[in-house]
């Protein structure tokens, strides 16, 4: 149980385009989902927290107009990187928190490369 | 606010030897504690967690950790490691009754030497 999926696993796009990443909790309902960014050989940096049906809460320094987050249902959250630039290239990981547990379960991550 | 310290950035260990990965935390309130493992180019997998109760917690893949409140530590141990244990290990905490956010340590790279 407690499986979280992400799609796509890898994406390459041209500078200036937008990219959408999906995060799904497959076998549980997630009232809260989190989006992280991870640079090579570093720890995870929390970007934002999204609660189903409400606006996401962004961490300091994260541009909410650039990283659009939607949490439309209890099993799906999306992160859209708008007008992507090479500096947005990174590994993006989502996590979902089961409403009955004090535990975050992580997706497999999405590798984004902006050319 | 809380913080997590993983003093060892890299730990090389011979196959079948025991290992301990250290984690210390700082918090003004009670915390939940977690260990996650990350294999190359993958997300994080939960190894074990301490929420309450027995301070010795057993997880997957033969790992265990002990919560020591007086020393504010949550060290991860395995009595005999395998090549497949080569990965990055992250310790994390969240506040009891808090905003559900996880605070991560900087990670420890465990390398198993054949």
pLDDT in tens, A5-55: 999 999 999 999 999 999 999 999 998 999 999 988 888 999 999 988 888
Q: Which residues of A touch B94 (CB under 8 A)?
A: 102
Nearest-CA distance A9 → chain B (Å): 9
Residue B49: per-residue pLDDT? 95
Tens of pLDDT along A55-114? 899 999 999 999 999 988 889 999 999 999 999 999 999 999 987 788 899 999 999 999
Owner of token pair 């420890």: B108
Nearest-CA distance B107 → chain A (Å): 6
**Mean pLDDT of the residues in chain B:** 94
Residue in A with minimal Cα distance to B109 = A41
Tens of pLDDT along B20-54? 999 999 999 999 999 999 998 888 999 999 999 99
Residue A41: per-residue pLDDT? 82
In this prediction, residues B13-17 reach a mean pLDDT of 97
Residue in B with minimal Cα distance to A108 = B43
Contact B51 A102 (CB under 8 A): yes
Tens of pLDDT along B45-92? 999 999 999 999 999 999 999 999 999 999 999 999 999 999 999 999
Smallest Cβ distance to A109: which of B43, B49, B102? B43
Phi/psi for A95 (5° steps) reads -140, 160
CA distance A20 to B40: 23
Residue A56: per-residue pLDDT? 92
CA distance A83 to A111: 17
Nearest-CA distance B17 → chain A (Å): 25
Residue B99: per-residue pLDDT? 75
Contact B101 A4 (CB under 8 A): no
Residue A1: per-residue pLDDT? 65
Of residues A102, A94, A74, A78, the one with CA closest to residue A34: A94
């Amino acid at each position: 149980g407690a499986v979280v999926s992400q799609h796509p696993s890898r994406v390459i796009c041209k500078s200036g385009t937008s990219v959408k990443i999906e995060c799904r909790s497959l076998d549980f309902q997630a009232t809260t989902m989190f989006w992280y960014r991870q640079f090579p050989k570093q720890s995870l940096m929390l970007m934002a927290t999204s609660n189903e049906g409400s606006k996401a809460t962004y961490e300091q320094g994260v541009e909410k107009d650039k990283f659009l987050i939607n949490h439309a249902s209890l099993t799906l959250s999306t992160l859209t990187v708008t007008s992507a630039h090479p500096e947005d290239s990174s590994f993006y990981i989502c996590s979902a928190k089961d409403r009955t547990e004090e535990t975050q379960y992580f997706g497999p991550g999405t590798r984004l490369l902006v050319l | 606010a809380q913080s997590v310290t993983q003093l060892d950035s890299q730990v090389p260990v011979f196959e079948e030897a025991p290992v301990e990965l250290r984690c210390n935390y700082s918090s003004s309130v009670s915390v939940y504690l977690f260990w996650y493992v990350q294999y190359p180019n993958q997300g994080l997998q939960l190894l074990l967690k301490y929420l309450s109760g027995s301070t010795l917690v057993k997880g997957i893949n033969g790992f265990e950790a002990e919560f020591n409140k007086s020393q504010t530590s949550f060290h991860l141990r395995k009595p005999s490691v395998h090549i497949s244990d080569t990965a990055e290990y992250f310790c994390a905490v969240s506040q009891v009754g808090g905003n559900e956010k996880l605070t991560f340590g900087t990670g420890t790279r465990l390398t198993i030497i054949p």
